[in-house]
Structure 1
Amino acid sequence: MPRAPFQVLVVPFRRVGEQSEFAVLRRTDMDVWQVVAGGGEDDESPAQAAAREAHAELGLCRSVPLYPLQSTASIPARFFVAHSSWPAGTYVVPEYSFAIDLTEAEIKVSHEHTEAQWLDYQAAHDVLQFDSNRTALGELHERLLASDLPLPVD
């Protein structure tokens, strides 16, 4: 399937009593910690791509709530193999962020990652490699503290 010119992030979280934990994944190819990340395919919306990527990378066997976040970033198009197939003048691609509630779900990492770990906010923030991951994590953390998650996407 053709790669669409956008990227998604999905920050997995779970509630443990009154606290929240966040899943971070160690990438196989770059040996860095990140949240779920991937690109859109064909005519997918960012929310559809986020749901597909989360299910694939986390081995989810059932539907779980996916929440849109306000955090966005831009990534140079040259970082993507597919950039030569995108419209002329595509120099950056947007990265949209989401959160996924895994309080009642188990994860099984895909071949894209060597391991996953559940961490509190500060520990997750400290190990994440990319600024956009830390920004989305920070927004989600603040929303959880304020009990202000947006409505889940369908």
Structure 2
Amino acid sequence: MPRAPFQILVLPFRHADDQFEFAVLRREDMNIWQAVAGGGENDETPAQAALREAAEELGLARPTPLYPLQTTASVPARFFADRVHWPTGTYVVPEYAFATDLTGIEITLSQEHTALEWRDYKAAHDALRFDSNRTALDELHERLLASDLPRPVA
């Protein structure tokens, strides 16, 4: 079954020493820093894909709360091999952003990534390669400071 024509982004965060830290992951194939990213499989919704991708890429032993963010972006369809299976005229796919709280949770990276670093907001923002990752981080950081996380979807 081809990948669904959408992208997800999951920003892991944790509480540490009265501040928030954000996980950035170094991609093995591109040598860049990003958040958890991936696409839907079969008939998954974006939230279901985000839960699965976070579990796979971070080696999570149990599901963690997943907070939907308002941030959305568009990714050119030409970057995806499965584009040939999508409807004619699909030139961009939406990217949906989520956050997950990993305070006190052990992480085991998948082979998609060579490193994970916990950074404060500014250092994480500076490290992230893609604008969509930085915009989602901006939203998450503001929400955390305002104690205004949305209701988790799972």
1:6-85 aligned within 5 A:
6-85=6-85
1:70-109 aligned within 5 A:
70-109=70-109
CA-to-aligned-CA distance 1:30-64 (integer Å, 9 cap, x gap):
00000000001111000000000000000000111
Distance between the aligned counterparts of 2:104 and 2:45, measured in 1?
26
Distance between the aligned counterparts of 1:143 and 1:132, measured in 2?
17
TM-fit CA distance, 1:16: 1.1
Give the SS at the match of 2:6.
strand
- In structure 2, what residue type is equivalent to 1:3? R
Unaligned 5+ segments in structure 1 are none
Distance between the aligned counterparts of 1:107 and 1:132, measured in 2?
23
TM-fit CA distance, 1:20: 0.2
Unaligned 5+ segments in structure 2 are none
What's 2:149 paired with? 149
Number of residues of Structure 1 aligned to a counterpart in Structure 2 = 154
What TM-score do the two structures reach when normalised by structure 2? 0.98
Distance between the aligned counterparts of 1:34 and 1:99, measured in 2?
13
- In structure 2, what residue type is equivalent to 1:19? Q
Percent identical residues: 71
- In structure 2, what residue type is equivalent to 1:146? A
Q: Which runs of 4+ in 1 moved over 4 A?
A: none
- In structure 1, what residue type is equivalent to 2:146? A
TM-fit CA distance, 1:2: 1.9
RMSD: 0.7
